[in-house]
Structure 1
Amino acid sequence: MNQINELINQLDLKQNVHLEDIPSIDLYMDQVIQLFEKTFEPSKRNETEKILTKTMINNYAKGKLFFPVKNKKYSKEHIILISLIFQLKGALSIGDIKLVLDGVNEKVVTEDFKLDPFYQSYLNLLDRNTEFYKENLKDKAKDAKDELAKTEIDSDDYLQKVLLIASLVNMSNLYRKAAESLVDTLKD
């Protein structure tokens, strides 16, 4: 796995909807979709993959993952919440996401809670996580190579990739389980 640095660069890990990317005016659904498509275009695995669709947004609204829109327009707060949903849906069920965001939605609606600083904190953590991830991915690739070197198996690039994939999926599952356990604490 000599191509690990190339992989890291290819992943374009800095993609996210940043506060400065969100217009100060409310947007119609098509404009929200365009914002997400433009932002996350490089992360698509193929041309047919959709980042965000009308159906997805409608399902999030029906599932009450964010507070109701006014006049078919999405505020900055809606876009922030949709961005969080977009990130969370990679690991959590829609029911878990609803549970996680219920309190945030309630604060926005009833307490005049400003989402900007909260979201910026999330983005700051995301940046730190990304830097940690880059170093950790290099370590995991080296670990896979070293583990195969300890065996009597011919250590080719394919087997190193398979071992690295299995290791990364395992780490993903461990983090997901930790997140789900934290979600369960919100039920009380």
Structure 2
Amino acid sequence: MKTNEERLEGLFQHLDSLDHIKVEDIPQIDLYMDQVTTFMEKHLGELKRYPEDKVLTKTMINNYAKNNLLPSPVRKKYTQDHILLLVFIYYFKNLLNFNDIETILSYITEHHFGEAPLPLSQVYTEVFTMEHSQMDKLKDDVKAKFETAEKTFSDVEDPGEKDALQLFSFICELAFDVYLKKQMIERLADEIRDEYPPAKKK
């Protein structure tokens, strides 16, 4: 059985293995849906929790378009901008509902999708350049939470029991952090929705 220290090291190794799709990875030609799902599976497959999971399916793409998260394809083909939006949606969908994702992406889709003075590819690159600088800060924060959890249940004498309870404390700290950040994102989405009400659907 792993020690809690080994679990922490495993988490950091996992974080180090993660990467994002770069703009230059995306084909310059428009893609059919099957090509889009194959591309996403190839480049984001390592993020799947289970091997049988799908990064993206035809049904998902159709649902995103139906719920106004993704502009419709042109003659059944998807552009580089479609792929970039799908990457954003992929990260958002594990935290937020469709309504919030639509709200958060609406400005980007309206002002930077397709022909635009500041193209979506540039917006995407700018946002994802923050990833590496944030990773060290994330590790420091996770390590601090781990060290705090290691100080809990100090009066428990059984080593196995103490490890199990301290691991639970650590997981609760991580979960509370995610919960609070989700609350902040949802509040921002509500503010955006209030300030820029969505256009009436025809």
Settle same-fold status: TM greater than 0.5: yes
Secondary structure class of the residue paired with 1:10:
helix
Deviation at 1:153, TM superposition (A): 2.5
Distance 1:101 1:53, change over 3 A: same
Q: Which amino acid in the other structure matches residue 156 of structure 2? A: I
Q: 1:140 aligns with which of 126, 138, 145?
A: 145
Q: Does 112-121 or 57-66 show the bigger shift?
A: 112-121
Q: Output aligned runs, 1:1-188, within 5 Å.
A: 1-3=4-6, 4-12=8-16, 14-108=18-112, 112=116, 113-149=118-154, 152-154=155-157, 156-187=162-193, 188=195
Highest CA radius of gyration, 1 or 2?
Answer: 2
Q: What is the root-mean-square deviation in Å for CA atoms of aligned residues?
A: 1.8
Q: Which amino acid in the other structure matches residue 124 of structure 2? A: Y
Cα distance in 2 for residues equivalent to 1:29 and 1:110? 18
Q: Does 53-62 or 123-132 show the bigger shift?
A: 123-132
Secondary structure class of the residue paired with 2:151:
helix
Deviation at 1:109, TM superposition (A): 5.2
Secondary structure class of the residue paired with 1:146:
coil
Cα distance in 1 for residues equivalent to 2:16 and 2:57? 22
Identity %: 33
Cα distance in 2 for residues equivalent to 1:109 and 1:178? 26
| Structure 1 alignment gaps of length 5 or more | none
| Structure 2 alignment gaps of length 5 or more | 196-202
Cα distance in 2 for residues equivalent to 1:185 and 1:35? 35
* Structure 1 ranges of 4+ moved more than 4 A: none
TM-score where L is the length of structure 2: 0.85
Cα distance in 2 for residues equivalent to 1:26 and 1:37? 17
Q: Which amino acid in the other structure matches residue 145 of structure 1? A: E
Q: Which amino acid in the other structure matches residue 132 of structure 1? A: K
Secondary structure class of the residue paired with 1:66:
coil
Deviation at 1:95, TM superposition (A): 0.4
TM-score where L is the length of structure 1: 0.91
Note if contact 1:17-1:39 (Cα within 8 Å) is conserved in structure 2. Answer: yes
In the TM superposition, what whole-angstrom CA distance separates every residue of 1:41-82 from its partner, at most 9, and x where no partner exists? 222222221111111111001111122210111101000111
User: Alignment length, in residue pairs?
Assistant: 186
Note if contact 1:14-1:127 (Cα within 8 Å) is conserved in structure 2. Answer: no
Deviation at 1:103, TM superposition (A): 1.5
Cα distance in 2 for residues equivalent to 1:162 and 1:37? 33
Q: Which amino acid in the other structure matches residue 126 of structure 1? A: E
Deviation at 1:13, TM superposition (A): 5.2
